[in-house]
């Protein structure tokens, strides 16, 4: 049984000192225990405080009528009841297509709404990095709205990047009209809200594969009306979806699967009219040279080569 005083003190500290700093984050009971620095107390006292913390978290997420926390497995997050009404009838803006040039003629199949999250899934060395680099190549032409608005978040060393960029079909200006940063996680902290953000790639925690959706949603939430994020994910051979399965597709505008020289559409949020043809029956066949250039590109529809 938790002492009334211990519960009251734990409840007050959690509300005043801990929860106000957890907006948009997830945390565990262990995180709260560490915040209270239980090691400073004698074992008996520490046990009572720990028990009180556990009861506060249980009440906030399960018992209380007005719950303040959501619990998913061992993770908690603050319930966010804020919501901005969208007065769509007052908008004077017409629906527009973001002016992003996609590789392999993929603009023929989809309209890119804003904000825009594109997912590319492939096994290792099957084309996702080539796709991202080709996006750069196709969108740094003179007059491009993405000149100096492209950011690549990469994990490869500089010499490998230099070798790949040297294989572009045209020389890259120096300094280049895009930025490259080494980044492995927390991409939402550095996203350009109205730029073209390329993430190669998001690593999936094999113990928490569902959490990749949280990562993508955090990135998407940072994008403004002109913002685009393109994220690469690893997938196992022989399957269209990346590690994390359906969790990786929920928030995407466009989801592409690449393997063995073939690209397929997994999700098109806003498909373009195609004279009665089903875009999901198309396969884009390709070859890659130098790790960055697509060639011998052609389309197949069902079992037919076009």
pLDDT at 216 over 80: yes
Q: Quickly state the pLDDT bin for 290 (edges 50, 70, 90).
A: confident
Asked whether 190 and 222 are in contact (CB, 8 A), the reply is: no
Identify whether 95 is part of a domain.
no
Q: Quickly state the pLDDT bin for 94 (edges 50, 70, 90).
A: low
Please tell me whether residues 275 and 214 are part of one structural domain: yes
Please tell me whether residues 120 and 237 are part of one structural domain: yes
3-state secondary structure the chain: CCCHHHHHHHHHHHHHHHHHHCCCCCECHHHHHHHHCHHHCCHHHHHHHHHHHHHHHHHHHHHCCCCCEEEECCEEEECCCCCCCCCHHHCCCCCCCCCCCCHHHHHHCECCCCCEEEEEEECCCCCHHHHHHHHHHHCCCCCCCCCCCEEEEECCCHHHHHHHHCCCCCCCCCCCCEEEEECCCCHHHCCCCCCEEEEECCCCCCCCHHHHHHHHHHHHHCCCCCCEEEEEEECCCCCCCCCCHHHHCCCCCEEEEEECCEEEEEEECCECCCCCCCHHHEEEEEEEECCCEEEEEEEEECCEEC
Q: Quickly state the pLDDT bin for 243 (edges 50, 70, 90).
A: confident
- d(CA 274, CA 38) in angstroms, rounded, equals 64
Neighbours of 151 (CB within 10 A): 21
Helix axis angle for 29-36 and 43-58, nearest 10°, is 140
Please tell me whether residues 119 and 68 are part of one structural domain: no
Please tell me whether residues 60 and 108 are part of one structural domain: no
Identify whether 96 is part of a domain.
no
Please tell me whether residues 166 and 19 are part of one structural domain: no
164 Cα distance to chain centroid: 24
Per mean pLDDT, which range of 84-88, 134-138, 224-228, 251-255 is the poorest? Answer: 84-88
Asked whether 230 and 135 are in contact (CB, 8 A), the reply is: yes
Please tell me whether residues 174 and 300 are part of one structural domain: yes
Please tell me whether residues 45 and 181 are part of one structural domain: no
Total number of domains in the chain: 2
The whole-number average pLDDT for the span 140-145 is: 88
**Which residue is listed with tokens 């113990």?**
207
What pLDDT score does 93 carry?
64
Closest CA to 195 of 248, 132, 151: 151
What pLDDT score does 95 carry?
64
Residue 160 sits in which domain range? 103-305
Identify whether 83 is part of a domain.
no
Residue 300: give its domain's CATH number.
3.40.50.300
- Contacts of residue 13, Cβ cutoff 8 Å, sequence gap at least 6: 36
Identify whether 84 is part of a domain.
no
Identify whether 151 is part of a domain.
yes
Please tell me whether residues 163 and 288 are part of one structural domain: yes
- Using one digit for the tens of pLDDT, what is the confidence trace for 161-203? 888 888 888 888 888 889 988 888 888 889 899 999 999 877 7
Closest CA to 134 of 290, 299, 266: 290
Please tell me whether residues 159 and 55 are part of one structural domain: no
Please tell me whether residues 49 and 108 are part of one structural domain: no
pLDDT at 262 over 90: yes
Asked whether 260 and 271 are in contact (CB, 8 A), the reply is: no
Q: Quickly state the pLDDT bin for 49 (edges 50, 70, 90).
A: very high
pLDDT, the chain, mean: 87
Residue 25: give its domain's CATH number.
1.10.10
Per mean pLDDT, which range of 142-151, 206-215, 281-290 is the poorest? Answer: 206-215
Per mean pLDDT, which range of 22-26, 84-88, 281-285 is the poorest? Answer: 84-88
Both tokens of 303, joined, read 């079992």
What pLDDT score does 106 carry?
94
Please tell me whether residues 68 and 175 are part of one structural domain: no
pLDDT at 206 over 70: no
Please tell me whether residues 54 and 157 are part of one structural domain: no
% pLDDT > 90, the chain? 42
């Amino acid at each position: 049984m938790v002492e009334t005083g211990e519960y009251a003190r734990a409840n007050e500290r959690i509300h005043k000192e801990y929860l106000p700093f957890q907006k948009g984050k997830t945390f565990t009971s262990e995180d709260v225990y560490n915040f209270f620095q239980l090691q400073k107390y004698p074992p008996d006292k520490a046990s009572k405080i720990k028990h009180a913390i556990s009861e506060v978290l249980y009440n906030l997420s399960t018992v209380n009528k007005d719950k303040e926390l959501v619990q998913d497995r061992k993770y908690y997050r603050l319930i966010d009841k804020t919501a901005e009404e969208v007065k769509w009838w007052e908008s004077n803006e017409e629906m527009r297509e973001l002016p992003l040039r996609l590789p392999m003629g993929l603009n023929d199949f989809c309209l890119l709404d804003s904000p825009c999250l594109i997912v590319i899934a492939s096994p290792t060395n099957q084309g996702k990095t080539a796709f991202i680099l080709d996006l750069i190549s196709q969108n740094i032409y003179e007059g491009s709205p993405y000149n100096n608005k492209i950011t690549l978040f990469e994990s490869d060393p500089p010499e490998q990047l230099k070798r790949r960029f040297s294989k572009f079909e045209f020389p890259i200006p120096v300094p280049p009209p895009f930025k490259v940063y080494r980044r492995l996680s927390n991409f939402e902290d550095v996203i350009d809200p109205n730029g073209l953000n390329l993430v190669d790639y998001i690593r999936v925690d094999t113990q928490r594969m569902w959490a990749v959706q949280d990562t993508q949603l955090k990135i998407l939430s940072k994008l403004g009306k002109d913002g685009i994020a393109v994220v690469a994910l690893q997938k196992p051979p022989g399957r269209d979806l990346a590690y994390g399965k359906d969790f990786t597709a929920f928030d995407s505008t466009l989801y592409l699967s690449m393997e063995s020289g073939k690209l397929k559409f997994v999700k098109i949020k806003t498909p373009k009219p195609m004279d009665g043809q089903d875009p999901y029956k198309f396969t884009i066949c390709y070859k890659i040279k130098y790790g960055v250039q697509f060639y011998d590109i052609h389309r197949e529809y069902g079992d037919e080569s076009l």
